[in-house]
Amino acid sequence: MTIRVGVIGAGVMGRDHALRLTRRTAGAQVVAVADTDAERAAAVAAEVGAQVFASAAELIDAVDAVVVASWGATHEEYVLAAIAAGRPVFCEKPLAPTREACDRILDAEVAAGRRLVTVGFMRRDDPQYLAMKEVVVGGAIGAPLLMHAAHRNASVPDWFTSEMIVTDTAVHDIDVARWMFDEEIVAVTVLSGRVSRKAQPGFRDPQLLILEMASGILVDVEASVNAGFGYDIRGEVVGEDGTVELSESAGAVVKRAGAAHTRIPGEWIERFTTAFDAEFRAWIDVIASSADSGDHLTVGPTAWDGYAATACCEAGLAALRSGTRERVELRPKPELYCTAPLTEGTPR
Ligand SMILES: NC(=O)c1ccc[n+]([C@@H]2O[C@H](COP(=O)([O-])OP(=O)(O)OC[C@H]3O[C@@H](n4cnc5c(N)ncnc54)[C@H](O)[C@@H]3O)[C@@H](O)[C@H]2O)c1
């Protein structure tokens, strides 16, 4: 069975996902592309042999599954339309930029009675993060106490703002913390001090986030976006009996002439290609195996995870403004998100 996929938003991520689905994902075919920029839509459609749709509603009608990779503020409209049409929908992060918009998506999915939404927090499919979580869950380092994380971008465009360091950069670390410890974040503090000389005037880079987990585990996240030397992702969990950290490099380490060398990825697409591929394989597999069963058509991060991440980002933005600790208040978790899906892809 081939799952016919429609991609809404044909920019950097939309194109990358369209190519991945077409070239590297068994059982999937991108048959439709839509973008408010008609030239982009046409270019990506030509690359993957798909049809261009001017209307997203018509695209959703014409396909088995939908990828939403347009700008964040436009996600809600397309995700709601996909839910209304009963289509599984993979939505790039954020699910939506405000808690109210995420609420409307949760309400729609709960009313549909079936999980249809997957959110693109791809680190959950990264082999290094999976290996780290296996150690934490397996108990080898004892009860987790702390996590140190760093998210360093080589550079960002001029339009990137201090707030986006929370909502676009640290949001991945927020999701990792919730996933790693399988519990919610209850409070966020965001500190910014000495500013990098490479930052635009008024731009608060780097930032240090402190995430307080429900059980008392503390997570510190360095989020900086002018690192210059590459895209550097780090993580270490400290337990009562030991520590576990992400390996330095997924590639080879060369030692010669008194020095060790390993490649640092230039940007996120390179660092997380394996994770992106795995998340789409899992998504297509679950759709193919559950389409006629009436079971959930999601795998991995759910709309609840998207909602919780946005709620934490809102608290983070308040903390960035206030300079103080802000509590994260979540609505009660609907029953729909308390049960595991019938089919799981990679271990999560
Ligand atoms: N998972 C990750 O690591 C990761 C990395 C980068 C971006 N993203 C997310 O992916 C999404 C897209 O980011 P990008 O970097 O590809 O941006 P982009 O600007 O390169 O592409 C976005 C595309 O959406 C189109 N678009 C805008 N409004 C639209 C609308 N109403 N309907 C249809 N198309 C519309 C634009 O014309 C553009 O082609 C964002 O939500 C972003 O946060 C995720």
Task: Write out pLDDT tens, residues 186-215.
Answer: 999 999 999 999 988 889 999 999 999 999
Q: How far apart are CA 70 and CA 24, in angstroms?
A: 22
What is the whole-number distance in angstroms between the Cα of residue 324 and the centre of ligand 1? 32
**241 Cα: distance to centroid of ligand 1 (angstroms):** 43
pLDDT of residue 340: 60
What pTM, to 2 d.p., does this model score?
A: 0.95
Binding site membership of 74 for ligand 1 (Cβ less than 6 Å) = yes
Q: What CA–CA distance (Å, rounded) separates 208 from 211?
A: 10
CATH topology of domain 126-267: Dihydrodipicolinate Reductase; domain 2 (3.30.360)
Q: Whose CA is nearest to atom 21 of ligand 1?
A: 11
164 CA → ligand 1 middle, Å:
14
Query: 3-123+272-302: what fold?
Result: Rossmann fold (3.40.50)
**CA 196 to CA 272: how far, in whole Å?**
26
Q: Is the CB of 122 under 6 A from ligand 1?
A: yes
Rounded to an integer, the average pLDDT of 171-193 is 98
Q: Give the neighbor-by-neighbor strand order of the sheet with 243-245.
A: 243-245, 232-239, 144-152, 218-224, 207-213, 185-191, 326-327
Could you tell me if the CB of 42 is within 6 A of ligand 1? no
User: How many angstroms does the Cα of residue 56 sit away from the middle of ligand 1?
Assistant: 15
Per-residue model confidence (pLDDT) at position 347: 37
Quick one: pLDDT at residue 23? Answer: 96
Share of the chain above pLDDT 90, in %: 90
**Is the separation of the CB atoms in 188 and 170 below 8 Å?**
no
Q: Please work out whether the CB of residue 348 comes within 6 Å of at least one atom of ligand 1.
A: no
Strand partners, 129: none
Task: Confirm or reject: Cβ of 175 under 6 Å from ligand 1.
Answer: no
Domain ranges of the chain: 3-123+272-302, 126-267
Which pLDDT does position 201 carry in this prediction?
Answer: 86
Instruction: Please spell the DSSP secondary structure of 22-70, one letter per residue.
Output: HHH-TTEEEEEEE-SSHHHHHHHHHHHT-EE-S-HHHHHHH-SEEEE-S
pLDDT at 169 over 70: yes
pLDDT at 343: 39
